[in-house]
C-alpha cells in the first residue's frame, strides 16, 4: 500500500526523533489522531518517563501521554534500530550554535546517520529542526541517496519548520498552520498528507529551501523588531520618555504597526540562535546580514544595560552592587515556562555575581540552577526578605506583583509587570 493511503487510513507507523519541546507535542498529536507512534531519544530518562505515561513538558498533559501509552499508540525507545519499522520519520533534534556562532549540525547528522542505516523503500523523512537553507538538500539527501534509493521515487524527503510557542494558550501544534516543502512534488504531497492528519492547516511551498527560509524569516523578523524596540527603550530612557506608554499608544493604529516590547534580552532555543544560522549561510554567498548582526548586538547588550540600571537604582539609595542583596524574580527565558536556555536572567545573574552582589532568586518553574560559579535554589516567594533590590527578570503569572513595591526598597522591572503602579521605588526599562 502506498504511504499516502496508509496515512489516510491511520495505518502508517510514525517515528519522532528527539522528544523535547517540539518532538513530544508532535508525537502525542499524531498518537491522539490514531497513529501508531514511536518516539526515539538518546535520553533514557525521557524515554522512561513517556513509557510510564508521564509528560515532562509543561504544554503536554500527562493525561494525554498516559492515554496514548495505555491505548498502545505511543511508546518511546533509545533503540534506533526500530527506525527500520517506521513508515514516516520526523527529526526534531536540537540545532544549537557553536561558541563561534557557527551552526552545530552534529545532532541532525547523527539522527540522519541512524535513519540512513534503516532507510527502506517508500519511507518519508521530514526534518523539523530549525536550520539554514540548503540543509535538507545538501546534508540529508546525499546521506540517504548513498543507500541506493532515489529521492521522490525510492523515498520521500521534506522540510517542515516547527512553530511551537511554549505556554501559548491560543495556538498549539494542531491549530498552528504548518509550512511543508518537499524535495520533489511527490515528496511535498506525501509530507502534506502526513501533517494534514495532525494539523488543521498545511501550507505547501515549492521546495525544502523555501520552507527552511520561511522559519528563518519568521525568527529574524522577531529578533530584529525586538532589537529595534530595545534600542527605542534605551533612547526613551535618555530622553525621559516612558517607552511603554509610547508602545501602548502606537499599537492603537489599526494597520501598519505591530507591537514588540523591550526586555532584558533574548532567550530560548530559537530567537537568539536561528538568525545566526541564516547569516552564516548567507556569508558563504558573500552576503552580509547587517540587520541580524545589529539586532544581535543590541539584544545581546541588554543584560549589561539592566545591570547598569540596577547599579543606578542602588546608587540612588547610596548603595553599591557590591555587597547588596539582589533577588531575581523569574529565571526562565519567558513567562510561564521552565525553559532557561539562553535566558537573559542567567546573564544578569553572572554580571551581578562578578560585581559582588549577594544573590537569590524565585522561579516556580526552576527549582535550582548552576550557572558558572553561581549555584542557587529557588526561594519561595513569601519567604523572600531583607533584600536591597528586587529584579523582575521574567514576568510569570504566578508572582504576586501588587505587593512588591511595598516589600522591597527598590524594584527593577524589566518586563513592565508593574504596569500602571505609580510607586516611586519602581525602575522600568
Ligand X SMILES: NC(=O)c1ccc[n+]([C@@H]2O[C@H](COP(=O)([O-])OP(=O)(O)OC[C@H]3O[C@@H](n4cnc5c(N)ncnc54)[C@H](O)[C@@H]3O)[C@@H](O)[C@H]2O)c1
Nearest to 278 by CA among 205, 203, 215, 222: 215
Q: With respect to ligand X, which residue has the nearer C-beta, 64 or 165?
A: 165
* Residue 18 touches ligand X, criterion: CB under 6 A: yes
Per CB under 6 A, the segment of 19-27, 62-70, 240-248, 414-422 that binds ligand X is: 19-27
Query: In this structure, what are the phi and psi dihedrals at residue 117, rounded to the nearest 5 degrees?
Result: -65, -25
Q: How many residues are recorded in the chain?
A: 429
Angle at 278 between CA 276 and CA 280, to 5 degrees: 65
Cβ 171 to ligand X shortest distance, Å: 12
* Residue 93 touches ligand X, criterion: CB under 6 A: yes
Angle at 137 between CA 136 and CA 142, to 5 degrees: 105
Per CB under 6 A, the segment of 159-167, 315-323, 344-352, 363-371 that binds ligand X is: 159-167
* Residue 43 touches ligand X, criterion: CB under 6 A: yes
* Residue 140 touches ligand X, criterion: CB under 6 A: no
**What angle, 0 to 180 degrees and rounded to 10, lies between the N-to-C axes of helices 208-238 and 290-300?**
50
The one catalytic residue in 68, 92, 236, 270 is 270
Give, as ranges, the residues between 241 and 270 that touch ligand X (CB under 6 A). 269-270
* Residue 92 touches ligand X, criterion: CB under 6 A: yes
* Residue 20 touches ligand X, criterion: CB under 6 A: yes
Give, as ranges, the residues between 188 and 247 that touch ligand X (CB under 6 A). none
Cell of 210: 523555501
| Residue 71 CB burial class (10 angstroms; 0-12, 13-18, ≥19) | exposed
Binding-residue total with ligand X (CB under 6 A)? 26
d(CA 166, CA 148): 40
Cβ 264 to ligand X shortest distance, Å: 19
Catalytic residue status for 270:
yes
Task: State the pairing for strand pair 368-371/374-377.
Answer: antiparallel
* Residue 70 touches ligand X, criterion: CB under 6 A: no
* Residue 95 touches ligand X, criterion: CB under 6 A: yes
Partner residues linked to 178 by β-bridges:
202
Nearest to 83 by CA among 53, 43, 33, 124: 124
d(CA 392, CA 412): 6
Per CB under 6 A, the segment of 87-95, 326-334, 371-379, 409-417 that binds ligand X is: 87-95
Residues recognised as catalytic:
270
Contact residues for ligand X, defined by CB under 6 A = 17-23, 40-43, 46, 92-95, 107, 110-111, 129-130, 162, 164, 166, 269-270
Amino acid at each position: 500500500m502506498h504511504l499516502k493511503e496508509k496515512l489516510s487510513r491511520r495505518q502508517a507507523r510514525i517515528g519522532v526523533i528527539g522528544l523535547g519541546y517540539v518532538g513530544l507535542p508532535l508525537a502525542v498529536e499524531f498518537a491522539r489522531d490514531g497513529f501508531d507512534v514511536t518516539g526515539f531519544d538518546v535520553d533514557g530518562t525521557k524515554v522512561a518517563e513517556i513509557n510510564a505515561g508521564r509528560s515532562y513538558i509543561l504544554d503536554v498533559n500527562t493525561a494525554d501521554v498516559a492515554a496514548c501509552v495505555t491505548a498502545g499508540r505511543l511508546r518511546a525507545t533509545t533503540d534506533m534500530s526500530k527506525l527500520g519499522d517506521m513508515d514516516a520519520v520526523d527529526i526534531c533534534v536540537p540545532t544549537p550554535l557553536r561558541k563561534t556562532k557557527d551552526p552545530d549540525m552534529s545532532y541532525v547528522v547523527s539522527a540522519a546517520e541512524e535513519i540512513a542505516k534503516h532507510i527502506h523503500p517508500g519511507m518519508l523523512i521530514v526534518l523539523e529542526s530549525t536550520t539554514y537553507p540548503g540543509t535538507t538538500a545538501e546534508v540529508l539527501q546525499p546521506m540517504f541517496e548513498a543507500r541506493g534509493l532515489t529521492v521522490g521515487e525510492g523515498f520521500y524527503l521534506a522540510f517542515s519548520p516547527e512553530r511551537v510557542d511554549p505556554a501559548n494558550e491560543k495556538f498549539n501544534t494542531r491549530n498552528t498552520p504548518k509550512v511543508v516543502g518537499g524535495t520533489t512534488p511527490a515528496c511535498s504531497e506525501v509530507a502534506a498528507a502526513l501533517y494534514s492528519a495532525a494539523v488543521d492547516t498545511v501550507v505547501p511551498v515549492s521546495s525544502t529551501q523555501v520552507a527552511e527560509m520561511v522559519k528563518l524569516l519568521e525568527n529574524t523578523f522577531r529578533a530584529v523588531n525586538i532589537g529595534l524596540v530595545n534600542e527605542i527603550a534605551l533612547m526613551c530612557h535618555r530622553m525621559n520618555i516612558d517607552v511603554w506608554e509610547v508602545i501602548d499608544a502606537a499599537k492603537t493604529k489599526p494597520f501598519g504597526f505591530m507591537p514588540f516590547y523591550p526586555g532584558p534580552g533574548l532567550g530560548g532555543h530559537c530567537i537568539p540562535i536561528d538568525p545566526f544560522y541564516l547569516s552564516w549561510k548567507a556569508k558563504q554567498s558573500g552576503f552580509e546580514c547587517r540587520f541580524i548582526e545589529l539586532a544581535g548586538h543590541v539584544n545581546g547588550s541588554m543584560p549589561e544595560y539592566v545591570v547598569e540600571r540596577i547599579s543606578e537604582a542602588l546608587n540612588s539609595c547610596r548603595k553599591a552592587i557590591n555587597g547588596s542583596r539582589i533577588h531575581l524574580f523569574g529565571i526562565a527565558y519567558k513567562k510561564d515556562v521552565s525553559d532557561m536556555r539562553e535566558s537573559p536572567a542567567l546573564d544578569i545573574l553572572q554580571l551581578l555575581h562578578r560585581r559582588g552582589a549577594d544573590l537569590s532568586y524565585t522561579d516556580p518553574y526552576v527549582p535550582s540552577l548552576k550557572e558558572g560559579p553561581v549555584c542557587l535554589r529557588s526561594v519561595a516567594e513569601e519567604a523572600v526578605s531583607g533584600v536591597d533590590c528586587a529584579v523582575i527578570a521574567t514576568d510569570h503569572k504566578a508572582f504576586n506583583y501588587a505587593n512588591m513595591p511595598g516589600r522591597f526598597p527598590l524594584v527593577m522591572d524589566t518586563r513592565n509587570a508593574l504596569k500602571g503602579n505609580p510607586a516611586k521605588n519602581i525602575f522600568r526599562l
